[in-house]
A and B are shown apart, each in its own frame.
Chain A
Amino acid sequence: MLLIFEQILNGVQYGVMLFLLAAGLTLIFGIMQVINLAHGSLYMVGAYAGTWFAQETGSFWLGLPAGLLAAALTGVLIEVIVVRRLYDRDHLEQVLATFALILIFNQLVIMIFGRQPFFVAMPEGLQESIQLLPGLQYPPYRLLIIAAGLGVAVGLYFLITKTRIGMLVRAGATDREMVRALGVNVRLLYTVIFGFGALLAGLAGYLAGPIFAVQVGMGEQILLTTFVVVVIGGVGSIRGAFVAGLILGVLDTCLRAFLPGILRLVMAGPDADALGAGIAAMGIYLLMAIVLLIRPQGLFPAAH
């Protein structure tokens, strides 16, 4: 029983993490209608820059603003030099351009930091696991990630629904020309949003560092999963991304944890293990296919 509870908690934790990874993408992909394959590169930039600064200063917490800043600046740079020229072009040209950016960023990271994965220190005081319930040990760093994910979710919700900039974002997504006609500098607005989305990618990258590996190509590994989260949730919907992240996290964890055991009831051990892992791997894609067939716009279609 405790194991089932623990696995569901693991699923929730993973789900919040998926949301954290996907939050920046929802903003850029959903609201600005830009297919940014280089989102993973921004995640990598945040992780490398933050970790490097943390190593230089010896403090995990000083690395955080450095990672955010580097990712945001890179995002702004990308927007001004490349993406801005592609808003009125075909989606496919955005795909080609941002694919080119992936190649460039990966090789730049190799040239600057080398090919070896980076060591990331855990923040002080969060190294040892703590006891949540009797018999249930849990890493506090994971709790920190849950807190960060929830914080980002709430913050984004307020930003989009309650502030002036959020109103402009929503209006700009619906009718760009109208917002421009009202005297708003849409160009600047888009640069700011893109930079903010990049900052969220950097946050996810830096926070994921101590759990995953900081290495070249780390961005592409999460790219597909984050796109899946965004699309299941409904493109452009923060709430959708959050719910989709949770569903995917719990589903993925439970499939991995329990499916082989269930299959072993009906077939030989090794076959059950292999088949279970195979189905678990397909799990999130299967879910996406089913969701899109039933609700083509995703769980929470954005208003526009």
Chain B
Amino acid sequence: MDRSNALKTLAAVIGLLALVAVPIIADAAGSTAWISMATRILIYGMAAASLNFALGYGGLVSFGHAAFFGLGGYVVGILYQTYADETLLFGFIPGTNQLLVTLPATILVTGIAAAAIGALSLRTGGVQFIMITLAFAQMLFFFFSGLSAYGGEDGLIIRRTNELFGLNMRDRATLYWVTLAITALFFVIYRRLTMSSFGTIVSGLRQNERRMAALGIEAYRYRLIAFILSGIGTGIAGAMLANVMRFTSPDLLAWHTSGQLMIMVILGGVGTVTGPFLGAAVLLILEDVLNAWTENWPLILGLVLLVVVLQARGGLMAIVNLVRGNRS
């Protein structure tokens, strides 16, 4: 038991070192675009993992997480624009370009949004829950598409990435490391959450609500908290994406973004800790590599996804576990 734990820790350390070294390796290989790719994977991984907490653990199949992803992006974008124009938002909120302010602001805004959407949506279940979360996301999408003060459909350019401790955030490697640090922190919290008693209760509610009710657990409240946490995580990812892209647009709020996050979760493995990160990595890399190879890349991507879903019950993590199991 001790030995396997030590091995696990060793593996985690090596993994972390490898992740830290990505920009150095990419630079040495002359493929610096992979730094941005790795950054995007971390960000989408965070968003997908957050969705997975609601979807995989809580059984809350949200088709509207793009709302939180996009809101996170717009918090950064609108605060930056307010800062650049030296005006006050709603007449009393000053703008900012400090990451240490925009991230808490994102947490606040997406938390409130998730509380409102969750409080209403959780009165339904099943397919209706899927559709009602979609409905709220679509309303936000149309709202931001028509918001001409912030670019409307054309999106909002963020001239400079948010500042943090005087680091050179223009440098892509620095930005990657900052994202990695945030992702690592996120991962620790997320992993603990899934294993905490709270996570167990949320999972329990998915498996057998009646039994949990018999234990005196209020399903609605636990689910709402899970949904809010999930929304906040996705919002943070959206805020980071806006920083990395230096751009945000209603595209982030569109239903296909919700779909994309969902596909990442399912591809990686629903209800697994690392699956969503794996799913995000495979989907984004496949898109990029296949696209460079042939203009008919969607066909091949579709076939690959189809084979995975038909052959592997439980996504890519199931395959990974199978390989691991065989080895030991």
Report which A residues bind B (CB closer than 8 A): 29, 35, 82, 85-86, 89-93, 95-97, 99-104, 106-108, 110-111, 220, 224, 227-228, 231, 235, 274, 277-278, 281-282, 285-286, 288-289, 292-293, 296-298
B306, A101: Cβ atoms under 8 Å?
yes
Tell me the complex Cα distance, A85–B313, Å. 11
29 examples of A-B residue contacts, CB within 8 angstroms: A92-B262, A92-B266, A93-B313, A95-B266, A96-B267, A96-B305, A96-B308, A96-B309, A97-B309, A99-B259, A99-B263, A100-B304, A100-B309, A101-B302, A103-B302, A107-B296, A110-B296, A111-B296, A227-B134, A228-B131, A231-B127, A231-B128, A235-B127, A277-B146, A281-B146, A286-B139, A289-B135, A292-B131, A292-B132
Q: Is B225 engaged at the interface, CB distance under 8 Å to the other chain?
A: no
B128, A104: Cβ atoms under 8 Å?
no
B298, A103: Cβ atoms under 8 Å?
yes
B266, A93: Cβ atoms under 8 Å?
yes
B136 neighbours in A (Cβ, 8 Å): 285, 289
Tell me the complex Cα distance, A227–B133, Å. 13
Q: What residue of chain B has the Cβ atom nearest to residue A106's Cβ?
A: B298
Interface residue from A103, A107, A224 paired with B134 (Cβ < 8 Å): A224
A93, B309: Cβ atoms under 8 Å?
yes
B296 neighbours in A (Cβ, 8 Å): 107, 110-111
Q: Is the contact region of chain B dominated by helix, strand, or loop, or is it mixed?
A: helix
Interface centre among B120, B132, B262, B263 (most CB of A within 10 A): B132
Tell me the complex Cα distance, A91–B262, Å. 12
| Contact A108/B259 with A93-B309, A289-B132, A292-B124 known, Cβ cut-off 8 Å | no
B143 neighbours in A (Cβ, 8 Å): 278, 282
B142 neighbours in A (Cβ, 8 Å): 278, 281-282
Tell me the complex Cα distance, A277–B143, Å. 10
CB distance from A299 to the nearest CB of B (A): 12
User: What does the 1/0 interface line of B226-253 toward A look like (CB < 8 Å)?
Assistant: 0000000000000000000000000000
| Contact A285/B302 with A92-B262, A274-B146 known, Cβ cut-off 8 Å | no
Interface residue from B131, B303, B308 paired with A288 (Cβ < 8 Å): B131
B255 neighbours in A (Cβ, 8 Å): 224
B305, A103: Cβ atoms under 8 Å?
yes
Q: What residue of chain A has the Cβ atom nearest to residue B135's Cβ?
A: A285
Tell me the complex Cα distance, A101–B148, Å. 36
A282 neighbours in B (Cβ, 8 Å): 138-139, 142-143
Q: What residue of chain B has the Cβ atom nearest to residue A287's Cβ?
A: B135
Q: What residue of chain B has the Cβ atom nearest to residue A274's Cβ?
A: B146
CB distance from A116 to the nearest CB of B (A): 16
12 more CB-based (< 8 A) A-B contacts, given A29-B127, A227-B131: A95-B262, A99-B259, A100-B302, A102-B302, A103-B301, A111-B296, A277-B146, A285-B134, A285-B135, A285-B136, A293-B123, A293-B124
Tell me the complex Cα distance, A274–B256, Å. 24
Interface centre among A35, A285, A293, A296 (most CB of B within 10 A): A285
CB distance from A7 to the nearest CB of B (A): 22
B289 neighbours in A (Cβ, 8 Å): none
User: What does the 1/0 interface line of B132-170 toward A look like (CB < 8 Å)?
Assistant: 101110110011001010000000000000000000000
B128, A108: Cβ atoms under 8 Å?
no
A292, B146: Cβ atoms under 8 Å?
no
A99 neighbours in B (Cβ, 8 Å): 259, 263, 305
B135 neighbours in A (Cβ, 8 Å): 228, 285-286, 288-289, 292
Tell me the complex Cα distance, A277–B139, Å. 12
Q: Is B292 engaged at the interface, CB distance under 8 Å to the other chain?
A: no
Q: Is B299 engaged at the interface, CB distance under 8 Å to the other chain?
A: yes
B61, A91: Cβ atoms under 8 Å?
yes
Q: Is B270 engaged at the interface, CB distance under 8 Å to the other chain?
A: yes
B298 neighbours in A (Cβ, 8 Å): 103-104, 106-107
A298, B309: Cβ atoms under 8 Å?
no
